[in-house]
Amino acid sequence: MIKQSIHAATRREQKVVTRDRLVNAAMALFARKGIVNTKTADIARSIRMSHGVVFLHFPKRDDLVIAVIDEFGRRLAAEFRQAFEHDLGLRAVLQAHLRVLEELEPFYARLVTEAPMLPPKVRSTLMMLHAAVSYELFAALERERKAGRARKIPRPLLFNTWIGLVHHYLVNRDVFATGDSVIAEQGETLVNHFMTLVKP
């Protein structure tokens, strides 16, 4: 009995490991070749797995794309949580957002570049993540406003101004950065600029 449950637990762990490998491989290939252009067979081949394994974990291709976006969402939530433990300010929220974008920059840049071409569910998932960031930004702005350090800005415009700025640099990262990461090179400038915009 005990032997059987250990065996089942090991199988479950193995399943999680395989799933994580697929998500990581997908993220790497999406970053390199683009999301629309990457086939599930390419992902399986890149980690020497059979094509069937991909479908065992992700019956539809979209499920795999969403799993990669969900991974991004999880890292974002963890980063926000950590930022809040130390500082509830707007600057800290912006910096936390950029830290995750920098970590996943090649994939995220592809994601926002291809967003209008992606299937509805994938795009909706991305927009739902944006919604979560929007709420964190607005809550932080309101705290700054109550302390007299920011002015009133409607929630959608606050978020769209920030994300519009960041996405412009990401989509055109080849002309805004000399190295691999536009967020590493320009992030601080963007945060400083945004903090100036929200001043009373």
Partner 1 sequence: MAEKCPACGSCGMPMEKPEDFARGDVSRPYCRYCTDARGELLSYEQVLETNARFYVESQGVTPAAASAMARAMLADMPAWRGRH
Q: Compute the least distance from the CB of residue 44 to partner 1, in Å.
A: 19
**Per-position x/- string for 72-101, each x denoting binding to partner 1 as judged by CB under 8 A, each - no binding:** -xxx-xx--x--------------------
Tell me whether residue 73 or residue 187 sits nearer to partner 1 (CB atom).
73
Q: Residue 177 gets which letter from DSSP?
A: -
How many angstroms separate the CA atoms of 15 and 57, rounded?
8
**64 close to 121: Cβ distance less than 8 angstroms:** no
Contact flag: residue 134 with partner 1 (CB under 8 A): yes
Which of 159, 162, 169, 194 forms a contact with partner 1 (CB under 8 A)? Answer: 159
Work out the angle between the directed axes of helices 90-103 and 182-197 (0-180°, nearest 10).
160
33: Cβ contacts below 8 Å, ≥ 6 apart: 42
- Strands (DSSP E) contained in the chain are none
Q: What is d(CA 130, CA 100) in angstroms, rounded to the nearest whole number?
A: 13
Q: Do 30 and 44 meet the contact criterion of CB atoms below 8 Å apart?
A: no
CB 136 within 8 A of CB 81: no
Does position 130 interact with partner 1 (CB under 8 A)? The reply is yes
Least Å from the CB of residue 122 to partner 1: 9
Stretch that binds partner 1, among 2-10, 87-95, 122-130, 173-181 (CB under 8 A): 122-130
Instruction: Kindly state whether residue 156 participates in binding partner 1, applying the rule CB under 8 A.
Output: yes
Q: Which of 120, 148, 179, 200 binds partner 1 (CB under 8 A)?
A: 120
Shortest gap between Cβ of 186 and partner 1 (angstroms)? 23
Output the CA–CA distances (angstroms, integers) from residue 37 to 46, 85, 155, in the order listed: 15, 40, 35
Taking CB under 8 A as the rule, does residue 11 contact partner 1? no
Residues that bind partner 1 (CB under 8 A): 20, 23-24, 63, 71, 73-75, 77-78, 81, 120-121, 123-125, 127-128, 130-132, 134-135, 154-157, 159-160
